[in-house]
Amino acid sequence: MLKYVIKRELQHYLYSLVFQISFLLITAVFIVGTIAFLKSYDAKIQEYSKYNVEFTNGLKNTAESNASNLAVRRQTFVSKPRGNGFIADCKEKYLPNNFIHSAYNVFGFEVRSGSVNPFLNNFQELNWSFIVSLIMSFIVLLLTFDTISGEKESKTLAITLSNTISRGTLLWGKYISVIMVTMLMLIIGIILSILIVIISNKVALSFISVIEILYFILLSFFFISLISAFGILSSVIVRKSNVSLLIALTFWLIFVVIIPNSSMFSAKNIFSIEHSDDINEKVSKARDDINRNAPEGSWAASGGNPFLPEHELRADNQTNLMNSEMNIRNAYYQDMFRQLEKTRLLTMISPISLFEYMNEAVVGGGYLRFQKVWNDLHSFQPQFLQFFKELDANDPDSPHWYNPYENYSTTKKPVNFEQVPLFEERIISLEERFSFILKYLLVIVIYTAVIFFSSFVLFVRYDVR
Amino acid sequence: MIFSIAKKDFLLNLVSSRFVIGFLLCLFLIPFTLMVNIDDYSEQLRVYTLDKAQTDKNFKEVKVYSKLRPEIVKPPEPLTIFSGGISSNVGNRVKIWLGEKPLLATGKTAIRDNPLLNSFFSIDFIGIIAIVMSLLALIFTYDLCTGEKEEGTLKLQLSNSISRYKILLGKVIGVYLILLPIILFCYILSIIFILISPNIQFSAGDWGRICLLFLTSILFLSIFIFIGLLISTRSHSSRVSIIVCLFFWVFFIFIIPNLSVYMAESFIKVQSRDNLQYALDDLNREYGEEWDEYEKTLKRPDWGRHWNHSWGRDGYQELYGTSKSRYEYYRQSQEFKEPLRIDYADKKWAFQKAYLDELDKQKNLAEMISLISPSELFRLVCSAFCRTDVNSHYRFMDRTRIYREELINYFKDKKIFSSFSYFTPVPPETFMTADEIVRIRSGGEFKNNQEYREWVRNEQAKGTSMRSISASLGKVDIPETDPNAYSYLDLSDVPIFQLHFGDILTDLKECLFKISASILISILLFYLSFISFIKYDVR
């Protein structure tokens, strides 16, 4: 029986106007979005490699002049443009993507200047994630808002139900067929997009890309199921199809407009953190305290004589200054992370935000990537320091007083650049991503079950007259 | 007759569920958005007050002209509550340097406390009006013809001796009657919110601008009413008509804004900020070489020590307690350096301007594509009225560059670059020769510099530490070397930056093209729907 329902519904949907228009729209957006991505990716990669050459040359020159300069040099690690950005960009260009570190510490992160044109409005790239979360969700609601109320109005519901079919089977059949139709559109769009990527030959698709694409399709399936459940729910709440349309649209507006756009407000007011001015004040106060209590001669220096006794005091003082500043700042960074994470947890009520966060795990980008680089840098930095200390230990002309900001009292010998450890970003492994997705997947499945179950309950009591 | 139709439609709509839901949506969304934006504005105001106090203090507390580098802080625009435009992307602070023209503003509006939150967008009042009112306009018009046709009442109406255009006009008026109160309600609500918020002050001109916003909103509403009307008169069932309407809606409101910017960003290449920086670094190097060349022609001073010296970016030097010859050396070098740096700023500007032009080109393309959508047109006009659009920002930045010229002219007119007061508050008549400094500081131990130098050479040969050698000149302090002995400069005649806002008329003129285009579009849409309604098949 279920088979007949699905067959009938599929025919109904495939010939419907919604399907035809959306099919055209989605295909067009998939094509345009992918082409635009490839175009901008090309430019970004060129820029990135140019930066990298300049950066490596600078580092090399420093290394070949003086190892201490290399150690205290503030390096800026810039994350590489992602080749799988056509799946999801995760708003990475708005996120901090410059990481500042030296051998002694990881100092902080900032939004790369010039990564966004300030004269343009904030926008989302037209990638797969955008298409599914915004356009497909809208289409799914248009397909489902009148599943029940529409049939009631055209009086076919009463006839259908006078057969031996159970209400559950009918609802289930309709649900499955909507998902099937939407997935069909999605998969055609994805195939087109992949074809364009392959033909352009600008992005190499590897085994990992295949897994990512499969992950994306899987998550889209869950996402679409959830949105369809919402559509069906709005069709069984009321008896008139135009009212259920309004309800469906209200759901959509809440998910797409209200919740995501209120996150800044809730972050600032519900999960507020200290202002950065206050933190800077704290830092400079701690700095003044340390300087005031520093022993006499802590600021004496001589470029020519590394063994000047005051250099030891100076190195200690500078280390104290760095530690006190970084203690305050690291606590503040943790506050920032918590603020973002809590806000995200709150916005997860919106399936669209939820889907966006899941996509970070699919492509290994966004905040997840930020965290990964941040943590990896923290484990890289001690290795780099270790390397430098070993180098320094072999130099008899160095008093080995480690000064995190200056080169007075450590080795001034050049170092072979090939031996210098360089930080490289490692992509997030598939297992890590999957374990991350799993949490969200659980949320989305429960969410879907609750919504679908409530529509089922409402439908069982639905008055077909 | 028209009015009785309008009245009938109005009353029918008033009791309909779409009115209730639409009204509730506004009732919920508008206060919420206002709250968010007023909160945001208060935060901007808080930061502004802090920044302003800081920069004012920095401006006043200078003892030498080389430290006089005013920083302009733009006060937050209260109209951002209505339309944010690009105000949250561009900064509000501009530091005036001599060696570089202001390129982009910095400041906290551009860099938030937590940069991770940049991934969250926010929406302003106009954005909500655009989304909700366009949706309501379409929802109320999609079945204007089809609905009555399906019920069969259209036939009945037309069988009377009433002309079709009267029916159409009556129906349109009915829709206006229902939507105008909603939009009026939204605006009244916003005005109430503004009046009860303690820290928002609107000038008379600002209220005028709000009136303009209201009128523009009605114009925008009309476009969507006529789009709905046209679709309704072209289709034969309500279901088709609503589907088409909603696709147009999602396309205009959600796809075009993202599409336009994305296309502009992908297809117009802007060189990276790094590239610009490389070019500027090259110029800096060139400047350094030119200066080194000139420095060789200067007479080296016979005395190298000073008792107080601070220095910093952009030519900042603050010097106390050195010899006459060394003061003179600094004076001569800065007399050459500062005008040269200003020349180099002009050379740098060529690159900076090219960069800005590229950004501008990208913005223009984005704007052009976005004009496909009436809602983007509406938002552009509104942000111009609220002084938060790109052009207002350009005007502000231009003003800062003019101000920099004014400041330079002030320096030049007063011949500050060739005066000692550029780097030291010590009056020139109290400058001492090296011999005098040695004599006084050593308490008469050495007669002159020559004697002191020989003594130093001998002591160094003996291996005496630098510290005790230095101590020999610390016996008697010269009061003029203490920075605290000097008061701040009198800066009452320094030009002050003044923010010029264009008046409403100039802003209106700028948007005239867009506004007249919207009027034309709505007339055209109405005309088209009129024609198709005349030919409408009522069966």
**pLDDT tens-digit profile of A254-282?**
999 889 988 888 888 889 898 888 899 99
B43 and B134 part of one domain: yes
ipTM: 0.92
B404 and B418 part of one domain: no
pLDDT band at A138 (very low <50, low <70, confident <90, very high): very high
Distance CA(B253)–CA(B372), nearest Å, equals: 11
CA nearest to B265, candidates B369, B349, B351: B369
Domain assignment present for residue B485? The answer is: no
B279 and B263 part of one domain: no
What is the maximum alpha-carbon separation in chain A? 100
Q: Is A131 on the interface with B (CB under 8 A)?
A: no
Distance CA(B504)–CA(B494), nearest Å, equals: 31
Of A278-287, B160-169, B320-329, the least confident: B160-169
Does A264 sit within 8 Å of B274, measured CB to CB? no
Query: CB of A362 within 8 A of CB of A437?
Result: yes
How many domains are there within chain B? 3
A376: tokens are 């990896």
Mean pLDDT computed over A17-42: 93
Does B244 sit within 8 Å of A21, measured CB to CB? yes
B45 and B146 part of one domain: yes
B74 and B125 part of one domain: yes
B324 and B445 part of one domain: no
Residues of B with Cβ-Cβ distance to A114 under 8 angstroms: 270, 272-274, 276
B116 and B143 part of one domain: yes
A50 in helix, strand or coil?
Answer: helix
Distance CA(A177)–CA(A7), nearest Å, equals: 8
Domain assignment present for residue B68? The answer is: yes
Per-residue model confidence (pLDDT) at position A397: 85
Residues of A with Cβ-Cβ distance to B267 under 8 angstroms: 36, 39
Cα nearest neighbour of B90 on chain A: A118
Residue B503 reports pLDDT greater than 90: no
H-only helix segments in B425-503: 434-441, 449-462, 466-471
Radius of gyration of chain A (CA): 29
Query: CB of B82 within 8 A of CB of B190?
Result: yes
Residue A122, Ramachandran bin (φ over 0: left; ψ between -120 and 50: alpha; else beta): beta
Residue B191 reports pLDDT greater than 70: yes
Distance CA(A359)–CA(A53), nearest Å, equals: 31
Backbone angles phi, psi at B69, to 5 degrees: -130, 90
Domain assignment present for residue B363? The answer is: no
A8: tokens are 């009938």
Residue A340 reports pLDDT greater than 90: yes
Domain assignment present for residue B175? The answer is: yes
Residue B110 reports pLDDT greater than 60: no
Q: What is the pLDDT of residues B458-487, one digit of tens each?
A: 888 887 777 777 777 777 777 778 888 888
Residue B341 reports pLDDT greater than 80: yes
A374: tokens are 């941040």
Distance CA(A223)–CA(A358), nearest Å, equals: 10
Q: What is the pLDDT of residues A365-378, one digit of tens each?
A: 899 999 999 999 99
* Angle at which helices B504-534 and B164-196 cross, to 10°: 150
Beta strands of B125-279 (E only): which ranges?
none
Residues of A with Cβ-Cβ distance to B266 under 8 angstroms: 36-37, 39-40
Residues of B with Cβ-Cβ distance to A343 under 8 angstroms: 117, 120
Cα nearest neighbour of A371 on chain B: B116
Domain assignment present for residue B520? The answer is: yes
Q: Which of A39, A240, A247 sits opposite B267 (nearest CB)?
A: A39
B329 in helix, strand or coil?
Answer: helix
Q: Which of A95, A126, A370 sits opposite B262 (nearest CB)?
A: A126
Residues of A with Cβ-Cβ distance to B21 under 8 angstroms: 243, 246-247, 250
List A residues 215-244 in contact with B (Cβ-Cβ < 8 A).
240, 242-243
> For residue B63, what is the enclosing H or E element?
none
Q: Is A120 on the interface with B (CB under 8 A)?
A: yes
Q: Is A45 on the interface with B (CB under 8 A)?
A: no
Residue B403 reports pLDDT greater than 80: yes
From residue A81, give the alpha-carbon distance in Å to each of A38, A41, A433: 12, 7, 19
Residue A414 reports pLDDT greater than 80: yes
Domain assignment present for residue B362? The answer is: no
B394 and B516 part of one domain: yes
Does A116 sit within 8 Å of B43, measured CB to CB? no
Residues 6+ apart with CB under 8 A from A1: A164, A165, A169
B15 and B136 part of one domain: yes
Distance CA(A437)–CA(A358), nearest Å, equals: 6
Domain coordinates of chain A in residue numbers? 2-263+348-373+432-460
Residue B339: give the domain boundaries. Answer: 273-356+414-422
Of A228-237, A426-435, B438-447, the least confident: B438-447
Residues of B with Cβ-Cβ distance to A247 under 8 angstroms: 21
Cα nearest neighbour of A35 on chain B: B266
Angle CA(A178)–CA(A183)–CA(A187) in degrees, nearest 5? 160
A198: tokens are 């392959």
Query: CB of A422 within 8 A of CB of A83?
Result: no
Q: What is the DSSP string of A210-278?
A: HHHHHHHHHHHHHHHHHHHHHHHHHHHH-S-HHHHHHHHHHHHHIIIIIHHHHHHHHHHHTS----HHH
B19: tokens are 């009115």
Residues 6+ apart with CB under 8 A from B55: B70, B71, B72, B73, B93
Does B117 sit within 8 Å of A343, measured CB to CB? yes
Q: What is the pLDDT of residues B117-173, one digit of tens each?
A: 888 888 889 999 999 999 999 999 988 888 888 877 777 777 777 888 888 888 899
Per-residue model confidence (pLDDT) at position B469: 76
Query: CB of A88 within 8 A of CB of A129?
Result: yes
Of A293-297, B379-383, B414-418, B502-506, the least confident: B502-506
Residues of A with Cβ-Cβ distance to B111 under 8 angstroms: 110-111
